[in-house]
Amino acid sequence: MTSLIQIGFPRRTVLVPLLSLGALLGSSSAPAATRDVFLRVDQFQIPANAFGNAAPITMWGFIQTDATFTPLPGAVASAPGPALQATEGDTLNLHVMNKLPTASATVYTEPISVVIPGQTPVLAPGTWPTWTDGTKGNRAGSLQRVRSFTTETATGATSIYTFANLKPGSFLYQSGTHPAVQVQMGLYGCLSVLPVAAGQAYGDASTAFDSEVTLLFSEIDPAQHASIAAGHYGPNPPVPAPADWLTSTINYLPRYFLINGAPWKPGALPIPAGVHGKKLLIRFLNAGLQSRVPMLQGAYALIVGEDGNFLTITDPAGRVVPAARQQYSVLLPAGKTIDAIVTTPAVAGRIPVYDRRLALSNGGAASPGGMLVHLETH
Amino acid sequence: MKPIYFAPLAAALAVLVPNHARATIQGVTGTSFNLTAREDTISTGDGDSMYMWGYALDNRRMQYPGPTLIVNQGDGVTVRLSNKLPVPVSLVFPGHNVTATGGVPGLLTSEVPAAPSTAVVTYTFTASEPGTYIYYSGTRSDLQVEMGLAGALIVRPRGAPKQAYGDPRTAFDREYLFFLTEADPAIHQLVAFGKLAQVDMTARHPVDWFINGRNFPDTVQANNVRYLPTQPYNCFPRMHPGEKVLLRMVSAGVDLHPFHTHGQNHLVIARDGRLLSSNLSVPNPIPDLAISDYTTSAVPGETVDAIWGPWTGAKLGWDIYGTANLRPHNCTPDATGFDPASHEWCADHYKPIPVLLPTPSELTHGNFYGGTAYLGIPGGLPADNPGARMQQNLVGGVSFMWHSHSERELTTNDIFIGGMATMAMVVPMNVPIP
């Protein structure tokens, strides 16, 4: 619920790519405005031995580009894609180019699209959804199945996905086309929308924070990535079919468990979490297909938001008041986002955060590995 | 199980046993505990035995789950951990700010090296807030929690032992532990055979589900039965009409379990040892965000405190203690129409159950059917009836199954019925509850 959102303050807009903080898009003091972000969808590889994987893993990912779809300096395709930031009330234009490889006998590819659950897309009538026969608009017959929730972008083509009047909170942007394949291939990222009130997660003052971190959980099933990379995917396998041919993702069995795109491995660096004894906003997002339970070792979090909704109740006097829950862990089902505020310990140090469903191995090898990070205050 | 004392029908409600509160959760009290990580085996409901790693109290055998540590709010708690296992182990106490001394640093806390090391790690913390908590190994937790290295911690509110928290709305008459786990026997076999390198936790496929370390129906056998020496804790909630039962739910495995109470809803008052309250900053918060549910998500690593009851048979439309011809008894109402002695609603006094019940010989019934629908009136069950033979319900109680509502979890290694289930029994006021 956003009923407590304060309005009427000057609006501040920053769109920051996570991997290149220097590349600001837009002014930091402009009023709510239309913001244009350019993304390209590329196929890329996680090299062998990056985290215990014997073979390279083929991924699909977003890369931030300029208006000609040339990658920004230093930007590479990644999963999750670049972290996007915006301000409440903004209109977001995502310009997307599909640079997945062209289909051939040995290459499997698909059209792509982008959705942001919880935000309002601007969609022209008749342009969505896209059906499995390639047509758009209203359903023409009972044999049609949805392929894309929105307008789709074919290989080599570009589209603009517009989201108006953004609401504050944490959101996943992800593929809206054949998500069973494309999300697990890597087409996901975080959009955080700040309220007009500075230094808060939502409009209510109880959500004030001093610093923030984003912890985005996802998984990789390397067998499915290998089949798709080899072109061995689709509903109509050749006869005889290759042994690794997949007709669906039903046997999804993830073997790598990632936070912000990487599992824990020896030498993993802690995540900076601001000054000790201060309020730390943690944006938990689950782009994977399984439920996770992030556990804060030795700390409690105040859960203030879910799916971009500030948690409130109506008290007996009829007032809408905050209704945060205090827990040491957070149930984070697939596709969900949680905003939680931790008052970090009075002494500088590290807070371990790990998946309490204990996905703590890399490729099935002996743990430690998997979904474990340390938040470090100074 | 130990047969429940049964008062003769003629005595019926004339002899009322005073409702003395008893600690119904087995565990170890104090502020200083010595635990040792050891190997042993448990018995599963399919007749198998499973190799385990677990925590042992002092020099005893390991137990599954580990000893329930019961302390009081404000206590300074010390837990010393030794290790007889071939791998390093440790202890983490989510929700508590723990200082660990000794051993070697690990990713989550200090660890005790593998045996034959005689090192001891001392974990100290202040039990500052009341509630239900979990502890488990913070060393290779994915494998070690599966192997059994987990237990419960209960912190009682200062000066209010019959409340879950400081607020009187959290008062209970009886309390029971629901320590929920699941296991994949194939992993335990590999570890037992020393093939640790072959263990792949991403391929885990649990087929055994437990409450307090036992599969149903072992859950309703007595505490400390000799034939389950490493599984001392039962889970057999019993209550009189009108009593509130506190469920202390600890989800120690890695899968979500939808825990379901038949009979009526339970009120979820807390998670992770914190009341569901819109204002936790006051000394004794109130559970104004409590949720009434008949199924609660037990989330791995989390705890839930929930209050079931009171069950009084209100609005049933028939007399829970039976009709005049079956059992003459009085109902003396208070201003609300409730008899405070027998805990029945007088509006339904002597009303028969409004349907024609089949006779026992026309039914197939399980161990928990007393023979009639009325409290304290066991029926003439056939001699070969499992209920008569196994003596689960000689007192004529009314039983409700409380269980995981993921139905495949009601099995033990593919054998129905078993797994994560137990029976909760309402017994007449005159029947003492151990």
Q: Are A322 and B98 inside 8 Å of each other by CB? A: no
| Mean pLDDT value across residues A178-196 | 97
Residue of B nearest to A332 (CA): B299
Residue A332 Cα, gap to closest chain B Cα (Å): 10
pLDDT single digits (tens) B107-155 = 999 999 999 999 999 999 999 999 999 999 999 999 999 999 999 999 9
What ipTM, to 2 d.p.? Answer: 0.91
Residue A354 Cα, gap to closest chain B Cα (Å): 10
* HEC readout, chain A: CCCCCCCCCCCCCCECCCCCCCCCECCCCCCCCEEEEEEEEEEEEECCCCCCCCCCEEEEEEEEECCCCCECCCCCCECCCCCEEEECCCEEEEEEEECCCCCECCECCCCECCECCCCEEECCCCCCCEECCCCECCCCCCCCCEEECCCCECCCCEEEEEEECCCCEEEEEECCECHHHHHHHCCEEEEEEECCCCCECCCCHHHECCEEEEEEEEEECHHHHHHHHCCCECCCCCCCCCCCCECCCCCCCCCEEEECCECECCCCCCEECCCCCCEEEEEEEECCCCCECEEECCCCEEEEEECCEECEEECCCCCEEECCEEECECCECCCCEEEEEEECCCCCCEEEEEECCCCCCCCCCCCCCECEEEEECC
pLDDT single digits (tens) A245-275 = 999 999 999 999 999 999 999 999 999 999 9
Q: Are A293 and B300 inside 8 Å of each other by CB? A: yes
Answer whether residue B357 shows pLDDT above 70. yes
pLDDT given at position B392? 61
Q: Find all residues with CB under 8 Å of A122, minimum gap 6, and list them.
A: A91, A162, A163, A164
Q: Are B300 and A325 inside 8 Å of each other by CB? A: no
Asked if B280 reaches chain A (Cβ–Cβ under 8 Å), the answer is yes
Q: How confident is the model at residue A25 (pLDDT cuts 50, 70, 90)?
A: very low
Half-sphere exposure of A151 (CA within 13 A, CB side): 17
Single pTM value for the model: 0.91
In the stretch 305-344 of chain A, residues with CB closer than 8 A to chain B read 313, 315, 321-329, 331
Asked if B291 reaches chain A (Cβ–Cβ under 8 Å), the answer is no
Candidates A297, A310, A343, A362: best to mutate against B (most CBs of B within 10 A) is A297
Residue B350 Cα, gap to closest chain A Cα (Å): 40
User: Worst-scoring range by mean pLDDT, A27-41, A59-73, B38-52, B376-390?
Assistant: B376-390
Q: How confident is the model at residue B12 (pLDDT cuts 50, 70, 90)?
A: very low
Residue B56 Cα, gap to closest chain A Cα (Å): 23
- Percent with pLDDT over 90 in chain B: 79
Q: Are B274 and A291 inside 8 Å of each other by CB? A: no
pLDDT given at position B224? 96
Asked if A292 reaches chain B (Cβ–Cβ under 8 Å), the answer is no
| Mean pLDDT value across residues A323-338 | 97
Cross-chain CB nearest to A255 (options B92, B98, B202): B202
| Mean pLDDT value across residues B214-230 | 95
Nearest to A53 by CA among A170, A175, A226: A226
